[in-house]
């Protein structure tokens, strides 16, 4: 006789990308996600941020503060914060990344 399979409810996963320094849009999106997903599912959701937190909009610091506060405000959620190309460019501009090594083009490739 086969054992009954345990039924587990699939976890809600939300992906958010391209915030670009717009705190009001992020706050509105966050509220809409909670309302759409439902409060109980939202409390335990996996939220994956796809990067590009800065650049363009005026509120990069507020966006970063909002994101940093999420694990303490939503301790039952899981959060993944990926780095986008705008974030890397901003970090490089601030001098937070090491300088790239000198690259020499091989003479064999010069005419290509």
Which tens digits make up the pLDDT trace of 84-102? 999 999 998 898 988 767 6
- Tell me the residue range of the domain where 46 lies: 13-109
Chain segment 11-64, per-residue pLDDT in tens: 999 999 999 999 999 999 999 999 999 999 999 999 999 999 999 999 999 999
Q: Is residue 84 part of a domain?
A: yes
pLDDT of 105 above 60: no
Q: Is residue 4 part of a domain?
A: no
The domain tally of the chain equals: 1
Higher pLDDT pick, 10 / 75: 75
Torsion over CA: 47, 20, 35, 74 (sign): positive
Residue 68: which pLDDT band, with cuts at 50, 70 and 90? Answer: very high
Residues 23-46 as b/e (b if ≥16 CB within 10 A, e otherwise) read beebeeebeeebeeeeeeebeebe
Q: Which positions are annotated as active-site residues?
A: 86
């Amino acid at each position: 006789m086969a054992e009954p399979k345990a039924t587990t409810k699939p976890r809600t996963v939300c992906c958010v990308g391209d915030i670009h320094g717009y705190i009001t849009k992020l706050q509105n999106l966050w509220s809409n996600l909670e309302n759409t997903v439902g409060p109980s599912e939202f409390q335990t959701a996996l939220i994956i941020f796809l990067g590009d937190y800065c650049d363009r909009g005026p509120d990069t610091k507020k966006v970063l503060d909002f994101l940093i506060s999420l694990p303490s405000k939503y301790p039952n959620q899981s959060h993944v914060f990926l780095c986008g190309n705008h974030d890397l460019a901003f970090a490089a501009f601030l001098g937070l990344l090491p300088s790239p090594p000198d690259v020499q083009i091989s003479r064999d490739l010069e005419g290509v």
